Chain A
Amino acid sequence: MKTLNFSDFEKLLEGVLKPGRYIGNEFGIKSKSIENIKDLDSKVFFALAFPDVYEVGMSNLGIQILYETINNHDDFSAERVFSPWIDLEANLRKNSTRLFSLENKIFLDEFDIIGFSLQHEMQYTNVLNMLDLAGLNLRFRDRLNMRKPIVCAGGPAAINPLPMAPFMDFFVIGDGEEVVIKILEVLKQFKLENRRKEWFLSKINKFDGVYVPSDYKFYYYDNGTVKKIEPDLKVKKATVKDLDNYRIVTSPVIANIKPVHDRFVCEIMRGCFRGCRFCQAGFTYRPVRTRKAENLISDCMEGIDNSGFDEISFLSLSSADYKELGFLIKSFLDLNKNKKISVSLPSLRLDSFTLSIAEMIQSGRKTGLTFAPEAGTQIMRDIINKNIDENEMLECISIAFEKGWEKVKLYFMIGLPFENEKDIEGITEIVQKITALARNVLPKSKLGRLNINLSINAFCPKPFTPFQWAPQDSIEILEGKFARIRNNLPKRFVKVSWSDPKKSRIECVLARGNIKVADAVEEAFKNGAKFDNWSEFFNYKTWVDAFDKAKIDINFFTGREAGIDEIMPWDFIDIPVTKEILIKEHKKAKSIALKNDGRH
């Protein structure tokens, strides 16, 4: 296996801003050291690739889970590789050096398999950039004669794999930790018995969660909609049945430079039953699975000991729905009374009950409370099935002010299906009500510190949700709505941030894209698109030009309302919430809208 030697490594780091991103050898690494392996052919080498920089990737739980799962196995070794920042990329290209892994500095194309973790659509071009930096052809068809590496992808943004399908030998849809071992067992056999790539793919495509792009063919009508998907076989999402069979990662790799989320992560629950109609994670992570608090407490204690973090985050999509939450938090805090450990609950839905939990974890420093009503009126919240009552929320905020909180963060979406003027106005009204509340409740001396952070995102209709057929507002309409909100907001106390609607539009076409959209992704990459999630890099024109060149109409995917009976490109994936349920939910939303001031 070819590796980068240390003096060449040092040369590459010349002029690089944060060389610590590339040094590896962190505390807690678990990959096999290649000097100690006598027969390299007896092991399978997996490159866990994350298409963003080190600090972002090292905060990702999925990477840590897969890293541990794979390396726990004697015959498999996983090493990490992240997107190089532009400075290192320039040096790699200048010196014609291929991208390499952190642990053993193995060149990426030397691995048996490369697996990309796709967190969101705006990482797609970084995937292509990494393949290119590895010296590999981007399309799987152009890699057919190579036995290695096999290239695959998984993660939340692989749930509709099509815009990336021509680049991957296969995808893992759903939970990775169980199926990855089954896949690697087959890969080991493939390697030992010197089998053909087709043999490998035809073995693994039997597993739940495995989608092999070369297995499927798409036929279209002249208007661009899907006529037929062949074969008529579904790829069933991989699902870990019992999370308690999979311990949380208790000895994570400790990043050498401060990651975005510098804390110990404990996943308490996977999935969410709330069924908010815009929420892709809500539908695709079902069923809800929980871990027993009792096990978690001892695992967290061990994890904190092993890692040395001073913060722990209890992770789930909706932690208030975790039945043992109060018990878990209280027990954990009791056991750590003498340590300086802070607790965060990123998805805590606040009400009068959970406020007491927020009080427990923010007893010293009240950092702030987060609410996600997502829409400005009750009708709109009913349409999206966001079960948050305005009065309850205001009451909760009022109690919070009394208890000493001065910071509130609010999340809203605009451009939702069936939205009208009132919903837009409703957003500013809620903010006004909160400032009025604060004037009433907070003493004058504290009022000056009131801080309302408003975050407004453009709605992006996502596959596998009851809104998957809905059109997205155009950039102009979204900008108009946002301007209206901003102009009507109270100037004092309120800070507002909002997502770039141009970016939302590209996110939408990538999320709902069919396999042809891959041509535009490739064009965009060739035109220099990378780090599209970083506002300083995202360039709308690059994308528009790429779609033009690929002869793909963005609006067909973003601005068009799809027919309910239309075959969606991703219909061959079984998540396994059925299309019938999505249609039923869609109709419910529509009837709420119609009943109330005849929206349509």
Chain B
Amino acid sequence: MMEDTKIRFKFNKIREFKYLSHLETVRLIKMAITRAKINVKFSEGFRPNPKINFSFPVPVGLASLAEYSDIDICEKLDAEDFKNSINLQLKEQMSVLEAKNIVNKVPSLMGDIEFCSYSFKIKIEKKNSGEKINNDIITTSEFAGSIYSLDLIYDEIDSNIVNLNLIGYTKFSENNKIFKFNDFLKYFKYLSNNNDAVVEDYFKKEAYVLRGGMLKTPLEIV
């Protein structure tokens, strides 16, 4: 009998590649997998589709360091070999950062991921701007209910640079709303502006699932 492999991998989408939509990204990854001669499993039926599943789409224009995908392969393949061979077929601005063989059954990425973290870099003029912005977001903004946590970190070298680390909910429940990145960004830019601060950079940093009350990355649980 043929041995199967399931692999979960994490890839980035930075620089110009952040401008690709989800469908465009999926098409390119699938073609790279074909070029890498990875023997993907296909679904049964009239129009067989390769069994590759992706995490929730990241908005067009938002760079990401943590996109995830699961792939079913018809043969035994080491995750490290998978990573090396597919990366020969990808550009570094969109390439596989890490891959692991899935040994035990895991829920699908779409269903499992509950949080995403984002990093925002702002340049401030006045000393307390960072705190003020931070406070406004969690106390008065309409986004408060969709934010799991928000941290403020001052740059060690340049005190005018503040990093905000935000973890937002990707799933709706009784206690929280879904974090809507694009809406938030608009508000955040406006808010920063009002506080003499400029948003210099932002990106999606990580995705998380919940295990025993703890946040784990999708690769930590396989």
Which residue among B19, B20, B31, B89 has the maximum number of chain A CB atoms within 10 Å of its CB? B19
When distances are taken between beta carbons in the complex, the residues of chain B under 8 Å from A25 are 16-17, 91, 93
User: For window 1-57 of chain B, which residues contact chain A by CB distance below 8 Å?
Assistant: 15-17, 19-21, 23-24, 27-28, 30-35, 37, 42, 46-48
In the complex, the answer to whether A19 meets B31 with C-beta atoms within 8 Å is: no
Q: Check A307/B20 contact, CB under 8 A, given A19-B61, A25-B93, A365-B46.
A: no
Residues of chain A within 8 A of B17, CB atoms compared: 23, 25
> Do B16 and A24 touch (CB < 8 A)?
yes
Is A257 on the interface with B (CB-CB < 8 A)?
Answer: yes
* CB neighbours of B60 from chain A (8 A): 19
In the complex, are the beta carbons of B16 and A308 less than 8 A apart?
A: no
Cβ of A13 under 8 Å from chain B = yes
Q: Which residues of B contact A258 (CB under 8 A)?
A: 23-24, 27
Task: Tell me, in angstroms, the Cα distance from A419 to B90 when the chains sit together.
Answer: 56
CB distance from B62 to the nearest CB of A (A): 12
Cα(A24)–Cα(B61), bound, Å: 15
A257 close to B20 (CB less than 8 A) = yes
What residues of B have a CB within 8 angstroms of the CB of A305 in the complex? 35, 37
A427 within 8 A of B: no
Closest to B23 in A: A258
Q: Please report the C-alpha to C-alpha distance between residue A20 and residue B17 in the assembled complex, in whole angstroms.
A: 8
Number of A-B contacts (CB under 8 A): 61
Docked Cα-Cα span, A20 to B15, in Å, equals 12
Cβ of A306 to closest chain B Cβ, rounded Å? 7
How far is it, in angstroms, between the C-alpha of A305 and the C-alpha of B32 when the chains are bound? 10
Interface range, B side: 20 to 34
B114 CB to closest chain A CB, in angstroms? 29
- CB neighbours (8 Å) of A310 from chain B are 34
B24 touches A256 (CB 8 A): yes
A308 and B20 within 8 A (CB):
no
Q: Are B19 and A309 in contact (CB under 8 A)?
A: no
Residue of A nearest to B27 (CB): A258
Nearest chain B CB to A15 CB, angstrom units: 10
Which of the residues B19, B32, B91 comes within 8 Å of A20, measured between beta carbons? B19
Known: A305-B35, A308-B31, A309-B31. A20 touches B93 (CB 8 A): no
Contacting residue for B31 out of A22, A24, A257, A307, CB 8 A? A307
Within the complex, which residue of A9, A13, A27 is in contact with B91, where a contact is CB–CB below 8 Å? Answer: A27
Most interface-central of B31, B89, B93 (chain A CB within 10 A): B31
CA distance A23 to B28 in the complex (A): 14
A1-15 residues with Cβ-Cβ distance < 8 A to B are 6, 9, 13
A324 to B27 CA separation, bound complex (whole angstroms)? 33
- Alpha-carbon separation in the docked complex, A306 to B34 (Å): 9
Cross-chain contact B21 with A27 (CB below 8 angstroms): no
| Cross-chain contact B46 with A308 (CB below 8 angstroms) | no
Least CB distance, B211 to chain A, in whole angstroms:
35
Q: Does A340 make an interface contact (CB < 8 A)?
A: yes
Q: Which of B16, B30, B47, B89 contacts A27 (CB 8 A)?
A: B89
Asked whether, in the complex, the Cβ of A306 is within 8 Å of the Cβ of B35, the reply is yes
Interface contact B34-A308, CB-CB below 8 Å: yes
Q: Is A254 an interface residue (CB 8 A)?
A: yes
Is B16 touching A23 in the complex (CB atoms < 8 A)?
yes
B32 adjacent to A27 (CB under 8 Å): yes
Are A257 and B93 in contact, CB atoms less than 8 angstroms apart?
A: no
CA distance A310 to B35 in the complex (A): 11
Q: Is the pair B19, A340 in contact by a Cβ cutoff of 8 Å?
A: no
Q: Which residue of B lies closest to A14 (CB)?
A: B61
Question: Shortest Cβ distance from B1 into chain A, in angstroms?
Answer: 18
Secondary structure at the A interface, as helix, strand, loop or mixed, is loop
Task: List chain A residues, Cβ under 8 A from B21.
Answer: 18, 20, 257
Whether the pair B24, A257 counts as a contact (CB closer than 8 A) is yes
- Are the C-beta atoms of B35 and A13 separated by less than 8 Å? no
Smallest beta-carbon distance A251→chain B, Å: 10
A332 to B73, CA, bound (A): 25
In contact, A20 and B20 (Cβ under 8 angstroms): yes
Cβ-neighbour of B28 out of A13, A18, A256, A340 (below 8 A): A256
Q: Which residues of B contact A257 (CB under 8 A)?
A: 20-21, 24, 27
Q: A27-B32, A254-B31, A256-B28 are in contact. Are A340 and B16 (CB under 8 A)?
A: no
Q: Which residue of A lies closest to B90 (CB)?
A: A27
A362 to chain B, nearest CB (A): 14
Which residues of the partner chain B approach A24 to less than 8 Å between Cβ atoms? 16
A27 contacts which chain B residues (CB < 8 A)? Answer: 28, 31-32, 35, 89-91
| Nearest CB of chain B from residue A118's CB, rounded to whole Å | 28
Closest Cβ–Cβ distance, residue B154 to chain A (whole Å): 25
Chain B residues with CB under 8 A of A19: 19, 60-61
* A63-107 with Cβ < 8 A to chain B: none
Interface residue ranges of B116-164 to A (CB < 8 Å): none
Chain B residues positioned under 8 Å from A18 (CB to CB): 21
Query: Is the beta-carbon distance between A20 and B24 smaller than 8 angstroms?
Result: yes
A308 touches B61 (CB 8 A): no
Q: In whole angstroms, what is the CA distance A13 to B37 when docked?
A: 35
A23 to B16, CA, bound (A): 6
| Interchain CA distance A55-B175 in the complex, whole Å | 44
**How close is A350's CB to chain B, nearest CB, in angstroms?**
25
A257–B46 Cα gap in the complex (Å)?
Answer: 25
CB-CB nearest in chain A for B42: A340
A24–B27 alpha-carbon span in the complex (Å): 16
- Most B CB contacts (10 A, CB to CB) among A9, A25, A256, A365 go to A256
Cα–Cα distance between A79 and B55 once the two chains are bound (Å): 34
A260 to chain B, nearest CB (A): 14
Question: From residue A259, how far is it (CB to closest CB) to chain B in Å?
Answer: 10
B31 nearest CB across to chain A (Å): 4
* Residues of chain B lying within 8 A (CB to CB) of residue A306: 35
Residues of A within 8 Å of B32, CB to CB, are 27, 308
Which chain B residue shows the least CB distance to A254?
Answer: B31
Q: Give the CA-CA distance A305 to B47 in the complex, in Å.
A: 22
Q: Can you sample 17 A-B contacts with CB below 8 Å?
A: A6-B15, A13-B19, A18-B21, A20-B19, A23-B19, A23-B20, A24-B16, A25-B16, A25-B17, A27-B89, A257-B24, A257-B27, A258-B27, A305-B37, A308-B32, A308-B33, A365-B47
Q: Which 9 A-B pairs have the closest CB atoms?
A: A308-B31, A23-B16, A19-B19, A308-B34, A308-B35, A20-B20, A257-B24, A20-B24, A23-B19
Given contacts A23-B20, A365-B46, 16 further A-B contacts (CB under 8 A): A9-B16, A13-B19, A23-B16, A23-B19, A27-B28, A27-B90, A254-B28, A257-B20, A257-B21, A257-B27, A258-B27, A305-B37, A308-B31, A308-B32, A308-B89, A340-B42
